[in-house]
Structure 1
């Protein structure tokens, strides 16, 4: 991640995704707050993002697109309620990012099957890399 604006764009996308089911659950809010902290975005800036919907920028680097897809997948699972609209939206977002639909499907299945919904970073990258060959 290069610029603050790109980081803010990632958080805007996460907030928009979290609200797809019409409700922001406490666990979703906490997860977004953790990501904002890791991205070094101040809490005041994060809170403003909930009020203002901005334009989401396309991520240029493939590794960062994969990471964002994974963040969204974790966000989708953190409230332990899986809505059909979330599944549809995450697939739309992944395709818009230019990610391989088969790799996305495999990652989502691994997250679903994992007891803690976590996928190792090397496995995640390997799945998307396999689709390139």
Structure 2
């Protein structure tokens, strides 16, 4: 049924799906299963895990703010992701983004190429925040 809904909205152009939910709620597992099922339809799929784009530890932990504020407001550069990722999902061929390297605790800029007829899945927490909600 989920596949029928997705495919009914995908007509050889980009379709952006947001898979939102709390931490450890099964989002990544769900996306892996979805991707497995979509492969039989031979549709190009591109997945963005929002946690790949968190900022360095010093910017998100042990700040002057409470943990709940750090978790919601400081994990990502919300404005940068709006500008460099979300606003480009429907049209850009190449997107340059900061990817977090947890071993080095630093960001590395990488370019992702997106096929023009791709189903894009963005997976992560807080995707429905006001700054990002309208892109889904």
TM-score exceeds 0.5 = no
Instruction: Compute the TM-score of the two structures, normalised by the length of structure 2.
Output: 0.32
Higher strand share: 2
Instruction: Compute the TM-score of the two structures, normalised by the length of structure 1.
Output: 0.32
Determine which structure has greater relative contact order: mean sequence separation of CA pairs < 8 Å that are 6+ residues apart, divided by chain length.
2
